[in-house]
Amino acid sequence: MIETIHLQVLLATFAGWVGRKQTDIIAYLVEENRVLKEQLKSDGRRLRFTDGQRRRLAAKGKPLGRKVLRQIATIVTPDTILAWHRKLIAAKWTYSQKRVGRPGVMKEIRGLIIRMAEENPSWGYTRIQGALRHLDHRVVRSTIAKVLKEHGIHSSPDRPMSWRTFVRSHAHLIAAADFFTNEVWTARGLVTYFTLFVIDVATRRVYIAGTTANPNSEWMAQIARNLTDHEDGFLNGKRFLIIDRDAKFSPRFKSVLSGYGIEILLTAYMAPNMNAYAERFVKSIKSECLDQLIFLGRESLVRTIAEYVSHYHEERTHQGIGNVLISGRRTQSNSAVEVRERLGGLLKYYYREAA
């Protein structure tokens, strides 16, 4: 009961965070910044920033990356923000090295302060201070507060649980879904096909839900019913499904899942890292397989995807689960190394035959 209430509170928090109203607010603020910049230009004035302002922009802008900054930054360029970040870090450590003390130890302490704050949203300055003391680091609360402020981290209880912590804490209850596309030669010419897949966050197992050139609402509703089938639905036992704001995830798709008790977790505006597990699978199947082939007809694409998924589950090691096979199979013998090939040698698996 307590866990259910806790999850409901978390969901309410995330729903407010990633809601459409926040998207509208972000869009408005971006546009407002553009207008203010245009006004300054018309008056012949130039924006000048203090080191504190540069530090704040750099701290908030660095995690977004150049691609997202290019879309939302209006008063300075993405390269400028990232350059500020590099210069401020260099200046900080250059200054630190000139002071008397143990810079190596201080660097470790700063890293621990940031790590503890990010991984434990409920920890305040005193709680972090106590954890550091347990590690034989005596740090005053004001230093902890200063380090967190420099990195744009709020004090508890204003600091929400990070998305990463939430996903890791509830991985066994979470799946994530996304599309990837491929161009296929057909009798009608070059046609774009959409493949919908779902990944189990805890085990990394992947289910190919379907491949179509027309992922309309009816098709998506049927996919949702397949995913929640009481006998072999891939989402059986799951509580949450992470998806982005792609319009192909239709209201009917969401409605069917909600009817089976699956909570939809929408990623925030321009935040692909919130669906990192699905994004990683797309990158893997594209770079290791699909981007290197030409497809003649839908069936050739479907067969290739199925072959890759078999390789992915049975023969490919995964860093996220300790560089082991999803199947858990291990080589036991000392026999000669063999190689198994798929797709004409595009995919290879090295192993030893069991004794």
pLDDT in tens, 10-69: 555 555 545 556 666 677 677 667 767 776 766 766 777 777 777 777 677 666 666 676
How many beta carbons lie within 10 A of that of residue 300, not counting itself? 14
User: Could you tell me which residues are beta bridge partners of residue 266?
Assistant: 243
The answer, yes or no, to whether residue 7 has pLDDT greater than 60, is: no
Q: What pLDDT does residue 144 have? A: 87
According to DSSP, the β-strands at 206-212 and 189-200 are antiparallel
Q: What are phi and psi of 214, to 5 degrees?
A: -140, 80
Give tens-digit pLDDT for 281-302. Answer: 999 999 999 999 999 999 999 9
Tens-digit pLDDT profile for residues 115-165: 888 888 778 888 888 888 888 888 888 888 888 888 877 766 555 556 677
What pTM did the predictor assign? 0.58
